[in-house]
Structure 1
Amino acid sequence: MSQASSPHDERPAGAPSVLVFDVNETLIDIDSLAPQFERIFGDPAVLRTWFGELVMYSMTLTLSGFYADFFDLGQAVLRMLAEIRGVEPTEEERRGLTEAMRTMPAHPDAAPGLERLLADGYRLVTLTNSPHRPNSISPLENAGLSRYFEQQFTVDGAGVYKPSTHLYRRVASTMGTPVAECMMVAAHTWDTIGAQGAGMRGALITRPGNATLPIAGVPGPHVIAPDIVEFASAMRTFDWTSNAF
């Protein structure tokens, strides 16, 4: 997929050259799924329980040597929570969640922030847990953001989930870029930690409900911003010389 053209290379000296974006929650709004959970459980807040369990079980499968695609895993976690809470989703409700996962809207700051980053000369790609299904547009394409990205990477080909360090190194290798010249941009600290463990730099987008993990011996993100527009501004002013990787 082609990236938007005419960038002007205004990156500060020492800045990464490739920005690797997470998709779910970082660029597209998972809170748009809340009506699905209100319909099934009578409580839209179950969305966050489901999403946390979905991430946890994706990691569990990877650590245990198993794999199922993210949409199928999302359905399995839904059924698990339904059993725990004593509800029984209808087939229509289950299909509704799968469709909603594929059609989440972009955050309003995503497109203008990505435009700025392209103008500053960064190469942009994505790395997501969500698979690309044959004969179906990706969630990123549906959200109108695919034109900003040179490539869309998913975990599907590798059969492991983030934050496996293999995935981040695989992206850097495919891009023909040293891993240290790549930066993972995500709304989830577990994602930035995985990328930094692989040798990338990390940037945290602090969407509501997300924050850094302050613990000795674990790397914190190099750049922290509340949204993509502010992240683009921070990348222009960050002192990469004094904060060498």
Structure 2
Amino acid sequence: MRDDNPASIVVFDVNETLLDITTLEPLFARVFGDGAVMREWFAQLILYSQTMTLSGLYTPFGALGVGTLQMIGTTRGVTIADGDVDELKERMAAMPAHADAVPALSRLRDAGFRLVTLTNSASGASPTPLERAGLGEFFERSFSVEAVRKFKPAPETYRLVAENMDVETSDLCLVACHLWDTIGAQAAGCRGALITRPHNAILPAAEVPTPDLAASDLTILAEQIVQRWQVSR
């Protein structure tokens, strides 16, 4: 069954949703003796990015990522060397695409959807991480929160996409593997589609928006989007 007002533009989160952040784990295994520390680092990075926005402050995501690595080094009594910082930057710039990304993006593009990205990461020179991962060709535009100097899930970040694409937020469907991202998108008037990659799930609590769609695989989620909101060609 399709909604009366279909979501014609699919907006993809990038880090972890499309690009595989587990390729950062060897750095954390070497530095801290445990690759699982990468999850602590990423969670703290998201926490402090959102803290900066709530406080009316802004520091680029990459700089926060480096600072978070150094902060965890301090709390764990581990010295973070310049080479460790360089390796983090190099690995973040070279994260590969998840195996389900290309089939899902191909399905949505072939069904007539317009595809864009919205990331907390700052924009950069070509080749971008998406281009290095072989995904750049699928997207009409790539948006960074740096334009509004606020991190997701601030409503201004989703409105940025709607305004630049000259549509209403209700025309957008945000695809992400982080529930905090789909919650923010839905609160801003967008649709939300959750890909439940490992370490991400729905939060069953009162007043927490449930994603419009959810699946454990991006190709399945893409098919759900097509079946619900396929646009006329």
Interval containing the TM-score (normalised by the shorter chain):
over 0.9
TM-score (normalised: structure 1): 0.90
Which amino acid is the alignment partner of residue 157 of structure 2? L
Q: Structure 2: how far apart are the matches of 1:201 and 1:161?
A: 19
Deviation at 1:13, TM superposition (A): 5.9
Deviating 4+ runs (over 4 angstroms) = none
> 1:221: which partner in 2?
211
Which amino acid is the alignment partner of residue 40 of structure 2? T
Residue 65 of structure 1: which of 23, 39, 56 is its match?
56
Q: Structure 2: how far apart are the matches of 1:138 and 1:194?
A: 25
Q: Is the CA contact (8 Å cut-off) linking 2:122 and 2:144 kept in structure 1?
A: yes
Which amino acid is the alignment partner of residue 131 of structure 1? A
Matches within 5 A, 1:1-245: 14-133=5-124, 135-238=125-228
Q: Structure 1: how far apart are the matches of 2:10 and 2:227?
A: 16
Q: What do the CA deviations read for 1:125-145 (whole angstroms, capped 9, x no partner)?
A: 000011113x45221111110
Deviation at 1:12, TM superposition (A): 7.7
Q: What do the CA deviations read for 1:147-197 (whole angstroms, capped 9, x no partner)?
A: 000000001121110000011011111101111111110000000000011
Q: Is the CA contact (8 Å cut-off) linking 1:130 and 1:154 kept in structure 2?
A: yes
Q: Structure 1: how far apart are the matches of 2:157 and 2:3?
A: 27
Which stretches in structure 1 are left out of the alignment for 5+ residues? 1-10, 241-245
Which stretches in structure 2 are left out of the alignment for 5+ residues? none
Q: Structure 1: how far apart are the matches of 2:170 and 2:4?
A: 14
Q: Is the CA contact (8 Å cut-off) linking 2:8 and 2:229 kept in structure 1?
A: no
Q: Per the alignment, do residues 136 and 86 of structure 1 end up closer, same or farther by CA in structure 2, a change over 3 Å counting?
A: farther
The root-mean-square deviation of aligned C-alpha atoms, in Å, is: 1.5
SS of residue paired to 1:174: helix
Q: Structure 1: how far apart are the matches of 2:53 and 2:180?
A: 14
Which amino acid is the alignment partner of residue 147 of structure 1? E
Q: Percent identity?
A: 49
TM-score (normalised: structure 2): 0.94
